[in-house]
Chains A and B, each alone.
Chain A
Amino acid sequence: EDKVVQSPLSLVVHEGDTVTLNCSYEVTNFRSLLWYKQEKKAPTFLFMLTSSGIEKKSGRLSSILDKKELFSILNITATQTGDSAIYLCAVSAGGTSYGKLTFGQGTILTVHP
């Protein structure tokens, strides 16, 4: 059974801090790993990673994938209160599971002013 584990489950920081969110996975026929940010409603897409060692970056957010060690990290630098959200990691597999995403439990990030 495919499995995605995120850590920490929750994190409280102050504005300006840098945070690192972790995601490890065990998936048959791995295709890609995706990061989403969920505030009050719909998860919004952040990154999709398919290759090891290639950093994806968007503003203060960056992410990288290690397919050998089966994990990914999401970094947020100079955090702001608007970064407070649930960050979801999901893995897409191929084969008969093609198209389905397996989600981790999420990391609840709270950024205090």
Chain B
Amino acid sequence: GAVVSQHPSWVICKSGTSVKIECRSLDFQATTMFWYRQFPKQSLMLMATSNEGSKATYEQGVEKDKFLINHASLTLSTLTVTSAHPEDSSFYICSARDGTGSQNIQYFGAGTRLSVL
């Protein structure tokens, strides 16, 4: 149980284009999902918290107009990197928290490696 699917696993795009990343909880309902960014050999940096049916909460320094988050259902959240630039190249990971349990365990997707040319 507690499987989180993230798609795509790797995407290459041209500068100026937009890229959408999907995060799905496959066997549980996730009222809250989280989006992280990870640089090589560094820890996870929380970008935003995504709550089903409401606006995402962004961490300080994260541009909400650049990183659009939508959490339209209890099993799906999407992150859209708009007008991507080379400095947006990174590893993006989502996680989902099981809304039915009292334990605050986040289960992670496999991540998406974004390369902007």
Contacts and interface: CB of A to CB of B under 8 A. Distances in A.
Interface of A: 31-32, 34, 36, 41-45, 48, 86, 88, 92, 98-106, 108
B-side binding surface: helix, strand, loop or mixed? strand
Contacts of B107: 45
B49 A88 contact: no
Contacts of B6: 42
Contacts of A36: 108
Interface string B19-56: 00000000000001010000001111110010000000
Interface of B: 2, 4, 6, 9, 32, 34, 41-46, 49, 93, 95, 97, 103-111
A6 to B, nearest CB: 8
A26 B105 CA distance: 19
Contacts of A88: 43-44
A-side binding surface: helix, strand, loop or mixed? strand
A79 B106 CA distance: 26
A108 B42 CA distance: 10
A99 B46 contact: no
B97 A44 contact: no
B108 A44 contact: yes
A92 B46 CA distance: 13
B42 A99 contact: no
Nearest to B93: A42
A41 B110 contact: yes
Contacts of A86: 41
Contacts of B44: 43, 88, 103
Contacts of A42: 4, 6, 93, 108-111
Contacts of B103: 32, 48
B104 A103 contact: no
Given A103-B44, A103-B45, 10 more contacts: A31-B104, A32-B103, A41-B9, A45-B105, A48-B105, A100-B49, A101-B34, A101-B46, A106-B42, A106-B43
B106 to A, nearest CB: 6
